[in-house]
Amino acid sequence: MKRRSNTKKPHDPHSFYLDEGLSSPDIAKLMKDAGMSVFQYELLFARNQKIPDDVVIEKAHTSRLILTTKDEAMEREWIGTVIATKARMVLLTDGTGGITNLAAALICAHPAIERILLDTPDGPLIIKVNRSGDVTKIRGEVELQERWKHLFQAAMVRSKRHGTPAPRPIKAKKQSKDRSDYLPLLEAKEAKS
């Protein structure tokens, strides 16, 4: 008679949400063919609507998706939102590569990313991946708080040098609970399918 194994059930793979600058049917297909769970930008937002990055970060987090982007400015400009929402992100540091190169980097880094995400079930977290698919930097809550302080201090120094008004602290903006102006109705999308 066989004994039942005591090992834990395998975890569900994390689902990656492609930012507007990265999302395309080709990259999604390549990633899905490699066994990754991927959702394109259109799942939550319509294209070309100029949705602010903080809204994208917040909605990806509340949808339990790992935001995947090549927009390096997102880390600098919206670090307060990442910290406040405890979002988890994958940032491709070489945004100049083509679709195939970007997909290859994510596919190569996928096992390492999964391990990091399992080790850090709660955010905030930013994982940086280079063009060869190596994880180059991991920033957890402590590192992000330090980066936040550094960015604020640098902005203060710049304002004093140039005689401009002092910047306000980098904080996550309070958003209204009603996102109907940004979000398409998912039920309508599902009904069309």
Residue 28 to residue 17: CA distance in whole angstroms: 10
Report yes or no: 173 and 54 within 8 Å, Cβ to Cβ.
Answer: yes
Between the alpha carbon of residue 37 and those of residues 8, 30, 56, the distances in Å are 21, 11, 19
Q: How many CA atoms lie within 13 A of 163 on its CB side?
A: 0
Q: Which amino acid is at 135?
A: V
pLDDT, one tens digit per residue, over 97-149 is: 788 888 999 999 999 999 999 998 888 999 999 989 999 999 998 999 898 88
Reported pTM = 0.76
Residue 129, strand partner residues: 92, 135
The helix/strand/coil state of 48 is coil
pLDDT, one tens digit per residue, over 141-178 is: 899 989 888 888 888 888 888 888 876 665 544 443 44
Between the alpha carbon of residue 135 and those of residues 115, 124, 132, 179, the distances in Å are 11, 17, 9, 34
